[in-house]
Amino acid sequence: MNLMNVYFDNAATTKVRDEAIDAMIRVMREDYGNPSSTHYSGRFAAAVLSGARGKVAAALGAAPDEVYFTSGGTESDNWAIFGSADSSSRRGKHIVTSLIEHDAVLSPVKKLENTGWDVTYLPPDRSGRIPVDALNDALRDDTVLVSLMLVNNETGAVNPVDEYASVIKRRKSGAVLHTDAVQGFCKIPFTVDKLGADLVSVSAHKIHGPKGAGALYIRRGIKFPPMLYGGGQEGGKRSGTEALPAIAGFAEAVKLAHQELSATLDTASTLREYIIDSVLDELPETVLISDGGSPYIISLSVPGFKSEVLMNSLESEGVCVAKSAACKKGARSRVLEAMELSGDVVDGALRVSLSRYNTSDDAEYFVKNLVKASKRLMKARG
């Protein structure tokens, strides 16, 4: 088999699809006006912006005026955390989150903790999920924010956000529920109403849109402060001229991903099943870390071998995978450590993440080269 280029790091970022690129170029060439300007060029740009907001809102099952464009998932998460704290500090200063959240949630939470906020960090169970009972036990009268992600970016574990919402409602808690849905948006079926979340973060570059665009859903009626002050764009909540080319690309990617969700989900599920079955058949000592959850993310470990060694071997054959979140820059996974996995399993973990562009040939090539690398290393080790 000839050398192939196989990209299996789609949880880090995805290839921008041609339709999104075309939408961005069209805006830069034709609808380049400022959406806040009142002349015809501004009105054309404003129409593009309004249309983009409608596409993202439709995919979320939200009203357009509940969608606020941001620069991406990190900004959306930061705004959700700091905004909730700012608007709720008089009612209480307790936050519930988890040990498996993205750094875009944990870093602002820790900053608040350093300024006097009380934070409860819920550990995952062995499946990588946060148990509903754990949230129920953690809620207090002074809890004002619960931030628990929908799909974990390292293991693919899918949290029951709708059940968290039910617990908060049943307890008659005044806590706002935020979920980082970056790895779930247009990948697994959900609407904001079914989730029951008050704040939902999403991003463009995980669904074949451009980097630099995202959104925060803010449920109508939630008291929420602006992120940026200035000209009053984004309903007065995020001032500054909108990055219209990126937003247009984001919206086009959202529209198509939403339309294709079922078919792409089936494709990813088939590839995932093939990869898992084939690897376990060839390398029975492999530990499957992500059992179920999102079909787009496979977390597995070949104990006894360092992730970096296997990754380097795969890269030499043209295969890109990861050991943890890209933002960790190769550091040991705190998510897997929080699951209380053994050290050799954590050190040998690989994250294989799929997209609509991956094929059965990609999967076959990956399995072949992972098996080849593992057996070669076993032989060399004696």
Give percent of the chain with pLDDT exceeding 90. 91
Query: CATH 3.40.640.10 residue ranges in the chain?
Result: 18-259
3-state helix, strand, coil in the chain (%, to 5): 45, 15, 40
Q: Is 90 exceeded by the pLDDT of residue 381?
A: no
In what side-by-side order are the strands of the sheet with 199-203? 67-70, 214-218, 199-203, 176-180, 143-147, 94-98, 118-122
In what side-by-side order are the strands of the sheet with 349-353? 287-288, 297-301, 349-353
Helix axes 244-259, 261-282, angle to 10 degrees: 70
User: End-to-end distance of the chain based on CA atoms, in angstroms?
Assistant: 27
- CA atoms of 338 and 98, how far apart (whole Å): 10
- CA atoms of 378 and 382, how far apart (whole Å): 6
Query: Any residues with CB less than 8 A from the CB of 3 and at least 6 apart, and which?
Result: 317, 318
- CA atoms of 58 and 297, how far apart (whole Å): 25
Q: Is 90 exceeded by the pLDDT of residue 377?
A: no
Q: Regarding beta strands 349-353 and 297-301, do their DSSP bridges make them parallel or antiparallel, or are they unpaired?
A: antiparallel
Give the DSSP per-residue string, 288-335: E---SS-TTEEEEE-TTS-HHHHHHHHHHTTEE-BSS-GGGTTPPPHH
| Tokens, residue 137 | 């036990």
- Which 8-state DSSP code applies to residue 228? B
Name the catalytic one among 25, 47, 263, 327. Answer: 327
Mean pLDDT check: name the lowest of 34-48, 142-156, 324-338: 324-338
Give the DSSP per-residue string, 31-89: S-S-TT--SHHHHHHHHHHHHHHHHHHHHHT--GGGEEEESSHHHHHHHHHHHHHHHHT
> What CATH number is given for 18-259 in this structure?
3.40.640.10
Q: Is 60 exceeded by the pLDDT of residue 1?
A: no
* Vertex 155 angle, CA 154 and 161, to 5°: 100
Q: Is 70 exceeded by the pLDDT of residue 273?
A: yes
Q: Is 70 exceeded by the pLDDT of residue 350?
A: yes
Q: Is 90 exceeded by the pLDDT of residue 268?
A: yes
Residues facing residue 143 across a β-bridge: 94
- CA atoms of 109 and 93, how far apart (whole Å): 11
User: Which whole number is the average pLDDT over 152-166?
Assistant: 97
Q: What is the pLDDT of residues 299-348, one digit of tens each?
A: 999 888 899 999 999 999 999 999 865 555 556 789 999 999 999 999 99
For 159, other C-beta atoms within 10 Å of its C-beta total 25
Active site residue 327: yes
DSSP alpha helix (H) spans, 89-222: 103-114, 132-138, 161-170, 192-195
The pLDDT score that the predictor gives to residue 327 is 52
The pLDDT score that the predictor gives to residue 38 is 96
The pLDDT score that the predictor gives to residue 83 is 97
Q: What is the pLDDT of residues 219-233, one digit of tens each?
A: 999 989 999 999 999
The pLDDT score that the predictor gives to residue 226 is 95
Q: What is the pLDDT of residues 69-107, one digit of tens each?
A: 999 999 999 999 999 999 998 999 999 999 999 999 999
* Contact indicator for 77, 108 with CB cutoff of 8 Å: yes
This prediction has a pTM of: 0.96
Using a 10 angstrom Cβ sphere, with 0-12 exposed, 13-18 middle and 19 or more buried, the burial of residue 332 is middle
Q: Is 70 exceeded by the pLDDT of residue 133?
A: yes
Pick the CATH number of 261-381 from 3.40.50.720, 3.20.20.70, 3.90.1150.10, 3.30.1510.10: 3.90.1150.10
User: Which whole number is the average pLDDT over 182-186?
Assistant: 98
Q: Of 264 and 324, which is predicted with more confidence? A: 264
Query: CATH 3.90.1150.10 residue ranges in the chain?
Result: 261-381
* Contact indicator for 326, 12 with CB cutoff of 8 Å: yes
| Tokens, residue 15 | 């290839």
